């Protein structure tokens, strides 16, 4: 698969490492060179410096042939915009974003974008540890 990861924080770089190890083509976008250095000099992936909402940058990263776009920048709004561009302009088959604020769920759903909410995940995990078998949020 050809996968574009927007945002090279801890999650982004970890995903890049694992996916490229599995043999996928991974391109990582981040405006900061420092963040991209997290990938290491021997990373088996492509690193692109720039904003993930900039179409030139996206095209340079190969969005036209992408099978999936994963938006994991620290900012929810950026993630949403990048996901929208990917989904609607470039018709990328699978788009997954991270959204800290789960109230945005409806917005994402209406665009057909898959999302992962860390806040809910952590809360659920802790809840499960405290009260095993209890009801989830």
Partner 1 sequence: MRKNELTGALYPVSYYLGLVAMTLGALQLIPALTSLVYREWNILMVFLCTASIALILGLSMMMLGFSRRREKLSFGVGLSVSAGAWGLGMLLCAIPYRLCGNYLSYLDSCFDVMSGLTTTGLTLVQNMDHLSNGVNMWRHLLTFLGGQGMIVLALTFLAKDAGGAYTMYVGEAKDEKLMPNAVSTSKRIWSISMFYLLIGSVVMSLAAFAAGMRGGRAILHGIWIYMSAWSTGGFGPMSQNVLYYHSALFELVTVVFFVIGSFNFALHHAVLSGNRKELVRNIETVTFTVTLTLTASLTALGLMRAHVYPNVMALFRKGFYQLISGHTTTGFMSIYAKQFYYEWGDIALFAITLAMLFGGSACSTAGGFKGIRTGIIFKTFQAEIRQMLQPDSRRREQRIHHIRDIILTDKAVRSAFVIVTAYIITFSIGTLAGMLAGYPLAMAAFESASATGNVGLSIGITAASMPAFLKVTYIIIMWLARLEFMSVLALIAYGLRKVKRSCSQKYW
Residues making contact with partner 1 (CB under 8 A): 2, 20-27, 41-46, 60, 62
22 vs 101, which CB is nearer to partner 1? 22
| Phi, psi angles (nearest 5°) of residue 123 | -60, -45
- In the complex, the smallest distance separating the C-beta of residue 73 from partner 1, rounded to whole angstroms, is 19
42 vs 134, which CB is nearer to partner 1? 42
Phi-psi region of 118 (alpha: psi -120 to 50; beta: other; left: phi over 0): alpha
- In the complex, the smallest distance separating the C-beta of residue 116 from partner 1, rounded to whole angstroms, is 23
CA distance 20 to 119: 27
Give first-to-last CA distance, the chain, whole Å.
34
- In the complex, the smallest distance separating the C-beta of residue 67 from partner 1, rounded to whole angstroms, is 12
94 vs 102, which CB is nearer to partner 1? 94
CA distance 85 to 87: 6
């Amino acid at each position: 698969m050809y996968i574009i990861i927007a945002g090279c924080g801890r999650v982004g770089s970890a995903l890049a490492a694992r996916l490229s190890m599995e043999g996928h083509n991974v391109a990582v976008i981040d405006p900061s060179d420092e963040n991209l250095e997290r990938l290491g000099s021997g990373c088996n992936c492509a690193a692109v410096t720039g904003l993930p909402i900039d179409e030139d940058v996206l095209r340079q990263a190969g969005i036209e042939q992408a099978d999936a776009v994963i938006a994991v920048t620290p900012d929810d709004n950026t993630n949403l915009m990048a996901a929208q561009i990917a989904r609607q302009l470039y018709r990328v088959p699978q788009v997954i974003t991270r959204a800290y604020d789960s109230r945005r769920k409806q917005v994402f759903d209406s665009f057909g974008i898959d999302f992962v909410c860390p806040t809910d995940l952590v809360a659920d995990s802790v809840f499960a540890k405290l009260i095993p078998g209890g009801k989830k949020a």
